[in-house]
Amino acid sequence: MSDKENLYKRTLAQSRLMKNKINRRQMIKIMAATATTASMGMGSRLASADTKGPGWYTNDKLKGKVTMFVSAGQRWELPARGVLPLFNERFPNVEVDIQAGPHGDMVTKAMMIATSKSKTMDVVYTDFGQWPAFHAVNAMEDLEPFAATDPGWYADYNEDTPTGAQYRVPANADGTLYGLTGDGNAKLHFYRKDLMKAAGIHKVPETWEEALEVAEALHNPAKDQYGFITTARRGGFAGWVFWGMLASYGGDWFDKQADGGWHPTFNNDKGYKALETLMKLMKFRHPVTLNATDNECNTALANGSAVYAPIQWGTAVLQDPEFSKFPDDIGTGLVPRGETADSAHRPLMGGLGQYVSAYSENKEAAWEWIKHLNSGDYTDSRISDAYIEHTGQPARISLLNKYENIRPHFAGLKQSFPLAVPFVPLIPEAFTLSDIIGNEVTSVITEEKTIDDALKAMDKGVEGVMMDSGYYG
């Protein structure tokens, strides 16, 4: 049985267990069968004992309770729950309480936890774009002293996790570590290989012009087949689509992200080109596009009504046979680039990570928990096996490589990370600014404003926030 089949059977069993289609006893039988039938690969690793790496240790003297706030469901809560049994084995006297909440409310809820200075949450697992805001209110614990106690593990983490995905202050490889980013994501290019082949398109689009041609060629509303979909819901979602396209045309949020700068730079040729291209793509949009988040986009792509998503957050579900009708026909790659001289492939990078609350009374236990959650083969390959099996999407390059055969979109992530730019500017006001630009993008898409007026309004709105925050007078 191949790794892919093995993983599929196990994921299916978990999914059925969650839907009460099978009981726990049946689930254990399936897990045991898949683990023993595999002669090599993940199944055997799960069953064997020689999975431990040089970083493995246990500690029964460490005691306490760690409470973690995390977004509910796939990619965040489930992988955390997946690696928990092994953590309990390593730290039998540390209790981990995982408190999951809706992903849609994560940003505001996490911010309220941080500003309330509450001791109730020891670990907050949230969007790494939001971390500057937590840092500004001194909610994050400096992790360097903890990491220094295990230099081998720290070196492994640093080498394996892209610098752009790590949270350090200042934001460079020498900055102080304030959080661990176990979950990595990037805007990817999703396309239907079968339909493109049938339409005589043999090359994955490189530029937005080519992407437009593909969208037009595949667009056939009479057959409920739409040539374009993206997350264009008003607010941040629409804002990040625009910012992704702007980046690919060589644009940026500000003239300079340093003292003397911070003046918005949307109202220029690059901004115009990005919005103009988006409007051209909108001619081929799936009906749900205007109000779509990842949920709506993924559902439409999985059921085949949307067939092309050139700028869409990475996800495993489209190549998951239980969720998608076309698991083997959906390809992934780099988000297209513009055609101008400054253009390049600049996918947006996102992801979630954990920080230890500065107000926690169990910091050491909290650190051990997040360290375990972010560990790879250096500690024990069973951790990463469980993480991936429970729908995790790692930022660690070694794990993207290792599981690429069972999670095909990992190849796209691996390709994107070295080229990626953060999906928000790394400042506390990031989400307020994303909302401002997103609302203006929506006003263009719904034809309430012209592109010029919207770009002017973006600059004005962003400048107002930056002025209020004291970046300039």
Partner 1 sequence: MLRLNEGRVAFLLVLPTLIILIGLAIFPLGWAGAIAFRVENLFRPDIGKWVGLRNFKHLLAEDTFWKSIRLTLVWCLCVVSIQMVLGFLFAMMLDTRARIVGVLRTLIVIPVFISPIAMGLTWQFMFEPVAGVINYCLELLGLPGGTWHTSTDTALMAVMIADIWQWTPFVTLILLAGMQGISPEVIEAARLDRVRGWKYITNIVIPLIWPVVMVVLLLRLVDSIRVFDLIYIITRGGPGTATLVASVYDFTIFQAGRLGVMAAYGFLILIVINIVVILFLRLLYRQEKEARRVQKA
Closest by CA to 348, choosing from 209, 233, 224, 237, is 237
Contact status: 443 vs partner 1 (CB under 8 A): yes
Q: Does 436 bind partner 1 (CB under 8 A)?
A: yes
Tell whether residue 135 is a contact of partner 1 (CB under 8 A): no
Per-position x/- string for 34-63, each x denoting binding to partner 1 as judged by CB under 8 A, each - no binding: ------------------------------
Which DSSP string do the residues of 98-121 spell out, in sequence order? EEEE-GGGHHHHHHHHHHTT-SS-
Four-residue CA torsion sign, 429, 431, 436, 441: positive
CA 447 to chain centre: 31
Q: If we measure between CA atoms, which residue out of 409, 455, 386 comes closest to residue 245?
A: 455
281 contacts partner 1 (rule: CB under 8 A): no
Tokens of 439: 């609302």
How does DSSP classify residue 67? E
- Using the rule CB under 8 A, is 155 a contact of partner 1? no
| 431 binds partner 1 per the rule CB under 8 A | yes
Q: Confirm or reject binding of residue 442 to partner 1 (CB under 8 A).
A: yes
291 lines the binding site for partner 1 (CB under 8 A): yes
Of the ranges 1-9, 68-76, 392-400, 442-450, which one interacts with partner 1 (CB under 8 A)? Answer: 442-450
Cβ neighbors of 137 (< 8 A, separation 6 or more) are 114, 115
- List the one residue from 201, 290, 358, 411 that touches partner 1 (CB under 8 A): 290
Should residue 432 be labelled a site residue for partner 1 when binding is judged by CB under 8 A?
yes
Q: Are 333 and 204 in contact (CB under 8 A)?
A: yes
The interface region with partner 1, picked from 86-94, 109-117, 250-258, 261-269 by CB under 8 A, is: 109-117
Strands (E), 366-425: 421-422
Q: How far is the CB of 369 from partner 1 (least distance, A)?
A: 26
Residue with Cβ nearer partner 1 (212 or 302): 302
**Minimum separation from the CB atom of position 446 to partner 1 (A):** 4
User: Among 298, 300, 250, which residue's Cα sits nearest to residue 273?
Assistant: 250
Q: Residue 430 interacts with partner 1 (CB under 8 A)? A: yes
Nearest-5° Cα angle at 212, 207 to 216: 150
CA distance 209 to 87: 50
For residues 180 to 219, the per-residue mask of contacts with partner 1, x marking binding by CB under 8 A and - elsewhere, is: ----------------------------------------
C-alpha distance across the termini of the chain, in Å: 65
User: Counting contacts by CB under 8 A, is residue 124 touching partner 1?
Assistant: no
Q: Work out how close the CB of 145 gets to partner 1 at its nearest, in angstroms, rounded to a whole number.
A: 26
Residues that bind partner 1 (CB under 8 A): 107-108, 111-112, 115, 130, 133, 136-137, 224, 233-235, 286-288, 290-291, 300, 303, 305, 428-432, 435-436, 439, 442-443, 445-446, 448, 465, 468-470
